[in-house]
Amino acid sequence: MAYETEKQNAAAAAMDFVEEGMTIGLGTGSTAKFFVEMLADEIADGLLVRCIETSEQTRILARSLGVPLIPFEQVERIHLTVDGADEVGPGGVLIKGGGAALLREKIIANASDHMVVITDPSKDVAVLGAFPLPVEVTPFGYTITARKLHEALVASGIERPRIELRKAAQSLELLVTDGGNHILDCHCGAIPDPARTAAYLSGVPGVVEHGLFIGLARTVIIGTETGANIIEY
């Protein structure tokens, strides 16, 4: 698969931020999977950490590898979260949610002392928006929410946005997130002012959370064929 080496190198670089005794947030997605696997190897060798997952997918993976998980309600502090991204823009602004885990991902990222984003070079962009922006919405009234989202996107400066209701993989059924909600994928083309767009989206009733992560990533690691580039914010 494309960029597998780069993803592995980004995950390996993130391991340098792991310390004994940490509580660690485990991200979701193909790059985060490499980190969970590498962390599991260190745990098997005696590393003592506790972890909290951002999705059911990651929970299943972590448990299969013997990674110790704790319930969120028992967490007093999250020292480090390592997660991927669908796009990384200037200043470490992110689009996340391609894996439909954006709500839990944002809750855990916001609660963390340090969020490290690991990605491959294809996700490093000058302007966010080529990747459809996921927005998690309540099932009740989602058609009305979609119309209001379109209005909000236009008002925030997005030209001709297009919104699609995400369906489950290889199915005609609507996708249901771990939180019991739906995902509206907003095809924006370009998001010139992510903070402005985020503010407009957050003001739409029915929106549970959007996939713009602003001011959360402290470190971005972009894997290369031979190592990784580390950017601090």
Catalytic residue numbers, as ranges: 105
Other CB atoms within 10 A of residue 162 CB: 13
Collapsing DSSP states into helix, strand and coil, what is residue 211?
coil
Q: Rounded distance, CA 220 to CA 233, Å?
A: 8
| Residue 12, number of CB atoms within 10 A of its CB | 17
* Cα 174 from chain centre: 21
Structure tokens belonging to residue 53: 């997952």
Compute the C-alpha angle 179/181/182, nearest 5°: 140
Cα–Cα distance, 188 to 153 (Å, whole number): 8
